[in-house]
Amino acid sequence: MIRASIVGGSGYTGGELLRLLHFHSQVEVAQITSRELGGRYVHSVHPNMRGVSRLKFIHPDALNACDLLFLALPHGTAARSIERYAGLAPKLIDLSADFRLDSAAAYERWYGEAHPAPDWLERFVYGLPEANRERLRGADFVSGVGCNATAVNLALSPLARAGLMQRAVIEIKVGSSEGGNKSNAGSHHPVRSGAVRTYKATGHRHLAEVQMILGCEIPIHFAVTAIEMVRGVHLLAHCYLKESVAERDIWRLYRGGYRGEPFVRLVSGKVGLHRLPEPRVVAGTNYCDIGFELDEDGAHLVVVAALDNLGKGAAGSAVQAMNLMFDFDETTGLEFPGVYP
């Protein structure tokens, strides 16, 4: 049994970590922080935990040493205090984008400022088990993943590895919880409710993680649109292939790429309502569902993927990575299949 603490526990990914870790057989949540809610029960902001967890928030200054520290903080916060946080635990998982990229130059290019702690970048392993499983085993410092980036990376990895793609044009639709729990002009209910608002048509920062993980030189474009949904990422990728292929070739590629992966499911049916992935089916889970449809010419492949931005796109992947770091069974605490309808 290990003792893990959560910094930024009043936020959305912090709340999801608390929910997942509470039911993890090898983890006890030792402390959870909020600067404003110290002394209040966690259910005051995570009402689903009422009667489940008796934990109370503490101020981050009152954190004690533990076995594993999760940081679920706004962008740039972890990097500015990494020395202090790393001093509290031998192992640490940071869910922000602060330590995801492997070079300070890439960070500066995509995030528009010099990295506050560049020496730490090489100590972190990017926390996507499907891409970095062996490096995550026993790792001490792990970064979380970008939710949109994870949808792209998992949806396109088999094609990229096979060198089959010429280019990909991707439309991603996202729910409001991607923006975190602080309100802003765009999250105000009359503005956000019912929205179909493209907020990033080119140059999304998560492209940096896509280039890093897919490692291919081909053009990949993606646009992100906010839609009426709280949790979820829906990806639809038009992939233009270098040659015409048969559907069975695509099946072979994806089955081969994800054989044995506990949290990637192939969903590509010929009949029925749920022939292709849909975010509501994976809400609250650690699954990423991936499906496809091949156009008549065999060279235009439409790939569809769905995941929960707070699950596989953040806290779920972090818990999966934690299981690898501590040599626990990789699926422990992540077995929840979601709810339907």
Interface with ligand NAP, residue 73, by CB under 6 A: yes
- 3-state DSSP helix/strand/coil percent for the chain, to nearest 5? 35, 25, 45
72, 139, 213, 237: residue in contact with ligand NAP (rule CB under 6 A): 72
Q: Does residue 85 interact with ligand NAP by CB under 6 A?
A: no
Sole binder of ligand NAP in the list 53, 77, 176, 285 (CB under 6 A): 77
> How many positions of this chain bind ligand NAP (CB under 6 A)?
31
* Min separation Cβ 250 and ligand NAP, Å: 29
Q: Which helix (H) or strand (E) holds 150?
A: helix 147-162
Closest CA relative to residue 285, chosen from 294, 273, 277: 277
User: Using CB under 6 A, which of the segments 116-124, 172-180, 245-253, 299-307 binds ligand NAP?
Assistant: 172-180
Active site residue 147: yes
Rounded to a whole number of angstroms, the minimum distance from the CB of residue 243 to ligand NAP is: 36
> Pick from 96, 95, 92: which is nearest to 84 by CA?
92
Among 55, 60, 285, 305, binds ligand NAP (CB under 6 A): 60
Positions 134 through 153 that interact with ligand NAP (CB under 6 A): 144, 147
Question: Taking the complex as a whole, how short is the minimal distance between the CB of residue 198 and ligand NAP, in angstroms?
Answer: 18
- Cβ-based nearer residue to ligand NAP, 79 or 136: 79
For ligand NAP, which stretch binds (CB under 6 A), given 175-183, 197-205, 281-289, 326-334?
175-183
**C-alpha Rg value of the chain to the nearest Å:** 20
User: CB-wise, 146 or 158, nearer to ligand NAP?
Assistant: 146
Among the listed residues 91, 78, 108, the one whose alpha carbon sits nearest the alpha carbon of residue 11: 78
Site membership for ligand NAP, residue 116 (CB under 6 A): no
Residue nearest to ligand NAP (CB): 11
Task: Tell which residue, 71, 78, 36, has the closest CA to residue 57.
Answer: 36
Which of 239, 294, 310, 319 is the binder for ligand NAP (CB under 6 A)? 310
**Type of residue at 31:** Q
Under 8 Å CB-to-CB from 328, ≥6 apart: which residues? 26, 322
Identify the DSSP state of 314: I
State phi, psi for 319 to the nearest 5 degrees.
-70, -40
Number of H helices, E strands in the chain: 11, 13
Distance CA 311, CA 307 (A): 7
Kindly tell me which of 14 and 257 has the beta carbon lying closer to ligand NAP: 14
Give catalytic residues, as residue numbers: 147
